[in-house]
Amino acid sequence: MKTITAHTRDQQRIALGSVRFEPRSDGSVAFAVSLDPARFTDHFLSMKEFKCLDGQGEVVCHVPYPYAQPGIVTDQDLAWLEHSLLFLYKLPSEFGARLANGLYFQLERSEHGLRGKPQAIDLNQISAPPDDPAVAPFTADQRDDIAPDVRWIESLSIE
């Protein structure tokens, strides 16, 4: 079991939950993400309940990937784990959820585990089921890097 931690620009480390990895005979690894509901507050945005974190002038809400997915990763492909850690951000004064303000954490291996840097995505892209449910929809060409110190959550780690 590994801990999922958010690292914020105000130097907080917030344990969001855990991920369990189980090696499979084909060389891939099955995973299951479990976020800790005690860490999040409920926000009713755009007619839907979101689990959110409030911090430094920004609200960050988890957006569960809404379709069936394989739940596996390989040494070269962490996309489905990344798709299990989708978020959106908004100002506390904003009423609804703006799906165009999506956050995708691109994971890379580090000496301690995995580290994810935030990238901008438009979550409206997953408002309809994908053509091929076996292919993760947010490919590199659909994500944009975010400048340092712009978002409250600067990175995620899995250690």
SS3 content of the chain, % helix, strand, coil (to 5): 10, 45, 45
The pTM assigned to this predicted structure is 0.94
Grouping H, G, I as helix, E, B as strand and the rest as coil, residue 124 is helix
Q: What is residue 40's predicted lDDT score, i.e. its pLDDT?
A: 96
Buried b (16+ CB within 10 A) or exposed e, 41-57: eebebeeeebbbbebee
Burial of 111 (0-12, 13-18, 19+ CB in 10 A): exposed
CB 42 within 8 A of CB 61: no
Q: What is residue 65's predicted lDDT score, i.e. its pLDDT?
A: 96
Q: What is residue 50's predicted lDDT score, i.e. its pLDDT?
A: 87
Mean pLDDT by 10 residues, the chain (159 residues): 96 97 95 97 81 92 95 95 97 86 96 96 94 93 94 97
